[in-house]
Amino acid sequence: MAKDIMIGVGIGLFFYLWVSGYNVLPIGLLVLLVVVFWRFMPRPMVGGSEKGIQISGSTVDFEDIGGQNAAKKELQEALDFLLYSERMRELGIRPLKGILLSGPPGTGKTLLAKAAARYTDSVYLAVSGSEFVEMYAGVGADRVRRLFKKARELAKKEKKDRAIIFIDEMDILGAKRGSNVSHHEYDQTLNQLLVEMDGLGNSEQGPKILMIAATNRAEALDPALVRPGRFDRLVKVDLPDKEGRLAILKIHTKNKPLASCVDLEQIAQETYNFSGAHLESVTNEAAVFALRDDAREVNMFHFREAVEKVLLGEKLDRKPTDEELQRVAIHEGGHALLAEFVRPQSVSQISIRSRGNALGYVRHYPKDDLYLYTQAMIEEQIMVALAGAIAEETILGTRSTGAAGDYEQALHMVEKMLASGMSTLGVVDVAKLGADQRQQVTGEILAALEERTRQLILDRKGILERVVQVLKTEEVLNGERLRLLIEEEAA
């Protein structure tokens, strides 16, 4: 506020002098020089660190990170080069200069870097790649030089012989040169980083510096950055599997009072494709729901509600009309019945409550985490996606726009079939297929699967109508209750 007042007073005084006939040109030039000098001068220290650089002692151990056993093992092996440098030198092993952590968001890359600093008892400096990008030439390169200088100074000040520099969002700073043709500041900053990394390990005196960087897009990095001698190790930090998710849930529920009914293994199974950040949010939201209910313990239904909130968002106040509610119940019931037929025991819950952008949803969970899919599996997934619209058509005679997302999912899986040689075309280069040929094959696959889905829905029309009635009354139907209704209808 005071700064704005001073600027306003200065501008007013400038125009007053100008109107009064004073020669204001020297004053204007002086102000311009001051502004330019202030803009390019080294930034002052704020709270013990330069702006954008976080300097702190790490309190994170590798034991505090769950679900990344392979990444932790590979990272610790690389860090041993820093810890036991004398032994490595005896064997003629050159020191590592950089470690690149690559993987989806929320998988624990930053936590691994902090744990690395604790493991090696190193000075830890963290900065985002966006902090180096400026519109003025030379500013980013200067910040890179000062970052490495700061690491050395801080290590000497704290009487340590090791320092770790962590750069998050490395794809911003280290993108392939020439990709930003209108702005050479990016390239100049990257060139300076390459020069600094070349200098690591060349001096026998002074603290040893190890670069750790994190990115979600390793393929976007400049080849000169990821070659041996720069970032020597690429550590993949991927989404956790079921055992990893269970380990993460155990870590984040240590400080939470859990009811005896809570089955963390079941929650781990139902949270397929969740990252560590998602799982932390699930445990936190479950505790929030327990607080809302004034409960002394976190129950299983709190966790199930938390999983839905993390997946889809908060429940909405908007209430569909009776006709819309009927259609949504039929649509979601169709998805659930087909899923139970092609993959028994796979439905966790059906709901027609509005959440986020969804009027209703079916939550599935796989029996096992799969990484390879057969043609039959993909066709079953397509049938489940088509079942909602076909159920509407079977019961109400028409389809609705609510199936648009399902069609998009089905088309994506058909593309996967084409790319994997699972169509009548055999093994082909999908990119070279003509639009007409591609559309014809896609139409044939979808038409055949629609017919199979329609017959299955017709055979189960009675149970579908029962499921719809329960959903309209209770809004939510869990998987156990759905399977009980199916068994009763079969009997």
Q: What is the CATH number of the domain that holds 104?
A: 3.40.50.300
Q: Which domain holds residue 89?
A: 53-236
User: Given this model, what pLDDT does residue 199 score?
Assistant: 72
Q: Is residue 342 part of a domain?
A: yes
**Domain limit, last residue, from 203, 219, 236:** 236
Q: In this predicted structure, what is the pLDDT of residue 49?
A: 43
Q: Are residues 57 and 206 part of one domain?
A: yes
| Residue 253 and residue 300 in one domain | yes
Q: Is 395 exposed, middle or buried (0-12, 13-18, 19+ CB in 10 A)?
A: buried
Q: Which among 50, 280, 285, 332 is annotated as catalytic?
A: 332
Residues 447 and 385 in one domain: yes
Domain membership flag for residue 45: no
Examine the domain organization and report whether 288 and 303 are in the same domain.
yes
pLDDT at 57: 57
pLDDT of 130 reads 79
Co-location of 439 and 384 in the same domain? yes
Calpha distance 393→454 (Å, rounded): 9
Is residue 303 located within the same domain as residue 407? no
364 located within any domain: yes
Are the beta carbons of 211 and 78 closer than 8 angstroms?
no
One domain for residues 83 and 151: yes
Alpha-carbon gap, residue 433 to 418, rounded angstroms? 10
β-pairing verdict for 98-102 and 233-236: parallel
Given a contact cutoff of 8 angstroms between Cβ atoms, the answer to whether 485 and 478 are in contact is no
Q: Residues 86, 30: one domain?
A: no
Q: Alpha helices of 20-138 — where are they, by DSSP H?
A: 25-40, 69-83, 85-90, 109-120
Query: Distances in Å between the alpha carbon of 483 and those of 87, 127, 348, 487?
Result: 62, 52, 10, 6
- Give SS3 for 101: strand
Q: Report pLDDT for 227.
A: 86
Final residue before a domain boundary, out of 201, 236, 271: 236
Identity (one letter) of the amino acid at 9?
V
Token pair listed for 41: 């001068």
What's the CA gap between 246 and 249, in Å, rounded? 5
Asked if 289 and 306 count as a contact pair (C-beta separation under 8 A), the reply is: yes
In a domain, 136, yes or no: yes
Q: Is residue 46 part of a domain?
A: no
Strand order across the 123-128 sheet? 53-55, 123-128, 162-168, 208-215, 98-102, 233-236
CATH number at residue 282: 1.10.8.60
The domain spanning residue 453 has which CATH number?
A: 1.20.58.760
Residue 104 and residue 162 share a domain: yes
- Supply the pLDDT for residue 47: 34
> What sign for the dihedral angle of Cα 106, 111, 112, 114?
positive
Provide the token pair at 155.
């290590």
Question: Do 307 and 275 reside in the same domain of the chain?
Answer: yes
- Whether residues 224 and 272 fall in one domain: no
* pLDDT tens, the chain, 491 aa long: 445 555 655 666 666 666 666 665 676 666 666 665 555 454 443 333 455 566 655 578 888 888 888 888 888 888 887 788 777 778 787 778 889 999 999 898 999 999 988 888 888 998 888 777 765 556 778 888 888 888 888 888 888 888 899 999 888 888 887 666 545 666 788 888 888 887 775 555 678 888 899 999 888 888 888 888 888 888 999 989 888 999 999 999 999 999 999 999 989 988 888 999 999 999 999 999 999 999 999 999 899 889 888 888 877 767 778 888 999 999 999 999 999 998 888 888 898 888 777 788 888 876 666 678 899 999 999 999 999 999 999 999 999 988 898 999 999 999 999 999 998 888 888 888 888 888 999 999 999 999 999 999 999 899 999 999 999 998 888 888 899 888 887 76
Q: Are residues 179 and 63 in the same domain?
A: yes
Q: How many domains does the chain have?
A: 4
270 catalytically annotated: no
Contact 331, 360 (CB under 8 A): yes
Q: Does residue 288 form part of some domain? A: yes
Q: Does residue 361 lie within any of the structural domains?
A: yes
Structure tokens at 321: 């009309």
Two structure tokens written together for 193: 């980083």
Instruction: Specify if 47 maps to a domain.
Output: no
Domain end call among 312, 334, 356? 312
